[in-house]
Structure 1
Amino acid sequence: MANIIITPGTNSAFAPDKSFVIPRTDLEGFLLQQITTVVGSLEGDAVHARIGVVDDDPTSAIVKEGDPIDEGAVTFTEHVVQTSKFANLLVISNEQRRQPDGLGEIGNAQVRSVAAIANRQFLQAGTAPKGILSGVAPTALGDNTDALVDALAVIEGAYGNNVQVVAHPTAVAALRKFKTAAGSNMPALDLAADTLLGLPLIKSPAMPAGQVLVIAKNAVYSAISPLTVALSEEYAFNRDGVATRATCRGGWVIADPARLALLSVESTL
């Protein structure tokens, strides 16, 4: 009988296992950067950004030649933004650090974690600074987009600009199930290009399940510092390792609540 050498009959030195690191592609975008008006970067828990806004323009009128022009006035509002720091820290042995794969993915995991908490706080935080959706009751869409169209009209009527839609994936799934008519299988909406009624559509798990946010960029003012990942060889000196730290600072204030709308859509997921 032939002596066939196969991997089950040899040891790991002759048939070694191979390791692979699968890059994750679920890196969340920073909603503060995507859907708000960023005024700048702040450093420090006690440092504030003070944003002055003209609320009401002076009244203009038709004036006859030679007649005096009435004196007008404007009203001002100051919006104050205070930031919070979002951070995480990992300690990695030098042996692990010197492995050919994986260290970059660990750094990506830290970035994902910072982005995720920043997005959740921005949308849903119940303590100051409260999330922009905190305490807001959504309007039910029903089986059509009429409420969405109405919400867009209100936002544009309040001089909202650069309007975008942010939706939980379950809400996007429910919108995709809208049909052109009862009994039809034809979808009423084409979301393939990540747009909804011509508006940019952002899918975000940080949104409450089944909910859709329509928001103008000038509805919220924010301050956000760059996300940084730093490495220290001194922090874990007694462990023969290194520490990697990811940090970002962000804060926000609603400038005009009429420039955003929250809707809910029933999902079977």
Structure 2
Amino acid sequence: MLVLEEKATPLLNRTGDSYPITMPSLSKELENSDAKGKEEKLAKYYHLVNDYHQIFPSRFGVDLFAKISAFFLLIEPALPITRINEPDRSNNYPFGSFRRLYKEVGGFDLHCGNDLQRQFELFYRELSHQVEIKNQVSYFIVLQQAEEGGELTTYSLPWEEGQIKMGPNEVGEDCLKLPDGSIINLHTDRRVGSESVNPQPGDLILFQGGQLWHRVEIVKGNQDRITFGGFLGSSKASEEIILWT
């Protein structure tokens, strides 16, 4: 994973890194910049993404986008697979990203794609011109498995308008405030089912990451967890499947 070492950007919580920069990290940078700063940061971001799209074919002789597209075409052969462009420009968004979660500290707290759209409205507003972003599908491939931990846990309670994720300093971890004002702990409430999977290196996981609340458990042991993944959604005209991250 030499490329990850050279070009990785820390995650917001500093418990891992990614290549290229993640959507939350980019969104925060843009929110804290004036108009000129946003333009400069976006120009730097698109330069990084263009480099990212070239690095595997040139350095490793593998067209990663073609490989992943071929797999998804086996699932839905009627719709072409493409990546997304910024409106009115030739710049591409990345079709997937590498994520490394550091041993003993790395993990992802409770989240779902539909809720992230509320948190990072600036990023998703641009995507929504081309992609049906609601109920996006998530995918990831395990490249290096944690010795222990790092499982993907999904919960049976689906997202709906009006749900609010509560901070752990308020009521504890994995808690949501429901539209009726009540609070539910997804981890302990017996009305909510959960399922954890611990895929092996080379396995590809495809799940309803937009609609289902989920988390990645803390990585334990002496080895980082490294994955490659992103999201899928249909185009606005439902003529193609678009990959992004």
Please, what TM-score do these two structures have when normalized by structure 1? 0.23
Decide which structure has the larger Cα Rg and report it: 1
* Larger helix proportion of the pair: 2
Please, what TM-score do these two structures have when normalized by structure 2? 0.25
